Structure 1
Amino acid sequence: MTSLTDRYLAATLRTVPAPRREEIAAELRASIEDMIDGRTSGGQDTAVAEREVLTELGNPAQLAARYADRRLQLIGPTYYLAWERLLKLLLSFVPATVGILVGLLAATDGENVGGAVGEGIGTAFQVAVQIAFWATLVFAVLERTNAKLDLPEWSVDQLPEDQTGRQITLTDAAAAIGWLVLVIAYLPMQHVRSFVTTTADGDNLPILDPALRSSWLPFLIAVLIATVGLEIAKYRAGRWTWPLVAVNAALDLAFAVPVVWLLLTDRLLNPEFVARFEWLGRGDNLDTVTTVAVAGTILVVLWDVVDSVVKAYRNLH
């Protein structure tokens, strides 16, 4: 665990111009140490003095803006940082999530897969624009009307942990676990709500072969749950280790081998789902889709295994 001063410096230097980082780091560290020494010389505890000095210096984002001569102001400076944090958070997942859902729904309702992809991308862009506009408008009104939000004051407890040398960040782990949870939830749910319906009466049409419910589907779900555990272990370790590489490779193969076998033997997809889309029955379209899916699965597994091996090897050198 690094000191609060190291974490404060890291948070400050993150957004200052790269050519000036060493200079600013040396200057700021010296100033902090002098301020701490001035307090400890009077008998104050070092840890307490450090917290008080950093608290007086204030939010590192504001200090970095002063060093970079960058104005933190949209309409006014009061809520700029709150607006920036909220906007980054919303834009990090909302447009992509909505775009993917819209694209999937469009793909299940028509035969033009390329058009569905375009519709998903277009929707994601529109959502991003709407989020940026309305969030900015709301904060602009708050600034102009001098509204009081009573936001909590910044404190040193909000400093991020030092990420130096960490390969797996909290954002990476959260994104991977979130995606796995969605897949785990959808696999059993698609039997009752797949978002695909029959053309005759509009009943739900499972995407996967219903026969898998009593055979391979529980196994695949168990592998995905184990993969969630692996993601947690990776985050706790902070980096790839050889035991984690071995477990990752085993789980990749445990999921990919059955999926590839089921694809090649036409046992993965529900026959009624295949019949629902006429273009799958034309010529060699189904064989082409199967080949692409198998090749994609193999490539993803190879990339994941090789990537983990390379990162674990770098940790030793």
Structure 2
Amino acid sequence: MTTLTDRYLAATLRSVPVARREEIATELRASIDDMVEGRTAGGQEAAAAEREVLTELGDPDLLAARYADRHLQLIGPTYYLAWARLMKLLLSFIPVGVGVLVGVLEAADGGTVGQAVGAGISGTIQVAVQIAFWVTAVFAVLERTSTPLHLPAWSVDQLPETPLHRQITCADTVASISFLTLVIAYLPMQHFRSFVTDDGGGNLPILDPALWSSWLPFLIAVLVATIGLEIAKYRAGRWTWPLVAVNAVLNLAFAVPVVWLMSTDRLLNPDLVARFDWLGEVDNLNLVATAVIAGTVLVTLWDIFDSAQKAYRNRT
């Protein structure tokens, strides 16, 4: 069990610069202890005094912003935290959910895999933009008209049960493993049901079937190992340098073969390329190859950089 003070400190320190966390933690804990001691000296019970002191200090996010000299303001400071929390909540699942639904409907309507993926990505982006615009517009009007939201006041009961040292949440892990499982399942499935048909109505695999004797089993093994990494990350609760190293190795083990196969015209099924006149043109095929290679490289580099950055933040 952690005290309310420990939980309050953890909630505050997550939003302040890493270099100042130790200094701020020492200063804030000393201030809280002094304030609690002053109340208990007057005969108040320690637990009640601690709750009152933390309630007076207020929302940890507001206190963290003051320590970091960060302005909580986009359209105005009054409802900034309410706006930010609502935006994070809505953007965390609605755009992706709509994108998946749009992609499934496009595929069910006879669209190709590329059309389904394109429709899904387009739907996700459009919904995200619409949410960001309308939520911000509504809060701007509320701010300008000084409309009260009657939001409940912050209280210590809203503090998380444990200090917020966990970077890797259960939801993130489940989502990552689910995505990896779908990719692993689709690699063999596309050989029998790719949603692309040849001239005779038969199935037309997206990837070159010849890869089953070489690279596809290797890529599937890398994806399975990545699932193991996701489980290890969750058990650790945060990025560590060994996990960053393993993540970099697995990323490169997947990206390098994909880039090499695509650059040598060995990734896509030759029958698929011949099936579509547009894809059969050299310039268009090169454009697709460039897009796949660039996307793979960018995603790989960003994932490695992001994991290293998070591990660096945990150095203290």
Range of TM-score over shorter length? 0.5 to 0.7
Does residue 186 of the first structure (1) align with residue 183 of the second (2)? Answer: yes
Give, in angstroms, the shift of residue 254 of structure 1: 2.7
Unmatched 5+ stretches in structure 1: 17-23, 138-147
Paired residues in the alignment total 299
Give the TM-score taking structure 2 as reference length.
0.58
Note if 1:108 corresponds to 2:114: yes
Q: Determine whether 1:223 maps to 2:222.
A: yes
Question: Percent same amino acid at aligned positions?
Answer: 54
- Superposed, 1:168-183 pairs within 5 Å as 169-170=167-168, 178-179=175-176, 181-183=178-180
- Decide whether aligned partners of structure 1 residues 301 and 267 sit closer, same or farther in structure 2, where only a CA change above 3 A counts: same
Contact preservation (8 Å) 1:55, 1:156: no
The structure, 1 or 2, with the larger RCO (C-alpha pairs under 8 Å, 6+ apart) is 2
Q: Could you tell me whether the CA contact under 8 Å between 1:209 and 1:270 is conserved in 2?
A: yes
| Aligned 8 A contact 1:58 1:155 in 2 | no
Q: Secondary structure at the match of 1:85?
A: helix
Distance 1:63-1:290 versus aligned 2 partners, 3 A rule: closer
2: distance between equivalents of 1:283 and 1:309? 39
**Cα deviation digits, residues 194-213 of structure 1 (max 9, x gap):** 4x433758776442234555
**Offset, 1:251:** 1.8
User: In the TM superposition, what is the alpha-carbon distance from 1:185 to its structure 2 partner?
Assistant: 0.5
Query: Residues 275-310 of structure 1: CA distance to partner in whole angstroms, max 9, x if unpaired?
Result: 343222113433454355446545665676677678
Deviation at residue 233 of structure 1 after TM alignment: 3.5
- Which consecutive residues of structure 2, in runs of 5 or more, have no partner in the other structure? 17-23, 139-149
TM-score (normalizing by structure 1): 0.57
Residues 90/272 of structure 1: CA separation in 2 closer, same or farther (3 Å cut): farther
Report what 2:254 is aligned to: 255
> Which amino acid is 1:129 matched to?
Q
8 Å CA contact 1:207, 1:270 repeated in 2? yes
Matched, 1:54 2:54: yes
Q: CA-to-partner distance for each residue in 1:51-90, whole Å, 9 max, x for gaps?
A: 564357665457789999x999xxxx9x997776344211
Match of 1:37 in 2: 37
Aligned 8 A contact 1:32 1:53 in 2:
yes
Counterpart-to-counterpart distance in 2, 1:299 and 1:47 = 52
In angstroms, what is the RMSD of aligned CA positions? 6.1
Matches within 5 A, 1:297-308: 297=296, 301=300
Q: Secondary structure of the residue that 2:282 maps to in structure 1?
A: coil
In 1, the alpha carbon distance for the partners of 2:251 and 2:13 equals 39
Aligned residues of 1:11 and 1:159 also touching (Cα < 8 A):
no
Partner residue of 2:272? 273
SS of 1:155 mapped into structure 2: helix
Distance 1:90 1:309, change over 3 A: closer
Match of 2:89 in 1: 89
Counterparts of 2:314 and 2:55, CA distance in 1: 36
- CA displacement at 1:37 relative to structure 2: 0.9
Contact 1:83/1:136, CA 8 A, preserved across alignment: no
What is the aligned partner in structure 1 of residue 238 from structure 2?
238
Distance, in Å, in 2 between the alignment partners of 1:80 and 1:308 is 29
